[in-house]
C-alpha cells in the first residue's frame, strides 16, 4: 500500500506517524504541508472522504490559529470559507494528513487510528 503523507518536518507528531508507517511497511509520498499545502479542492475531497467535522482539520494548538482568532471564526464561517482559510496557510492544518486518495483519510496520529486504516 502507498499513501500520501502531508506533514511538517518540525512536527513531533508527524515524525511519530512516519516512524509507524516505516515500521509497518507502508510506503508513502511525503508532501511538505507548509510549502505545498493541499488546494481547496483537495482539502474539500479529504474533508468529505474523512467523515470528520471540518473543525478537525484545524491545528487548534498552533500559533497561526491563535493569531488569526480562528477560535471564533471556526464556529461562524461556512465550510467553504473555512476551506479557503485552510488552503491559504499550511500551518493552519492539523497534521499529519494521510490518505490513499480513494477512501481513507486520517488527520493527526494515534496508533489505534493507523492500525485501523493503514495496516
36-74 pLDDT, tens digit each: 999 999 999 999 999 999 999 999 999 999 999 999 999
For residue 32, give the DSSP letter. Answer: E
Bridge partners, 29 (sequence order): 4
pLDDT higher than threshold 80 for residue 6: yes
Quick check: helix, strand or coil at residue 6? strand
Helix (H) or strand (E) segment spanning residue 19:
helix 12-23
Bridge partners, 57 (sequence order): none
CB 72 within 8 A of CB 119: no
- What's residue 1's pLDDT? 75
Average pLDDT over residues 65-92: 95
Closest CA to 99 of 8, 26, 35, 34: 26
pLDDT higher than threshold 80 for residue 89: yes
- Domain 2-118, what fold? Glutaredoxin (3.40.30)
Amino acid at each position: 500500500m502507498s499513501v500520501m503523507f502531508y506533514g511538517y518536518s518540525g512536527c513531533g507528531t508527524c515524525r511519530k506517524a512516519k516512524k509507524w508507517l516505516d515500521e509497518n511497511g507502508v510506503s508513502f509520498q511525503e508532501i511538505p504541508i507548509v510549502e505545498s499545502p493541499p488546494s481547496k479542492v483537495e482539502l474539500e475531497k479529504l474533508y468529505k472522504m474523512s467523515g470528520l467535522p471540518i473543525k478537525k482539520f484545524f491545528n487548534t494548538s498552533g500559533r497561526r490559529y491563535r493569531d488569526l482568532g480562528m477560535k471564533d471564526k471556526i464556529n461562524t464561517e461556512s465550510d467553504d470559507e473555512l476551506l479557503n482559510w485552510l488552503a491559504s496557510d499550511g500551518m493552519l492544518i492539523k497534521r499529519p494528513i494521510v490518505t490513499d486518495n480513494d477512501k481513507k483519510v486520517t488527520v493527526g496520529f494515534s496508533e489505534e487510528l493507523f492500525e485501523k486504516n493503514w495496516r
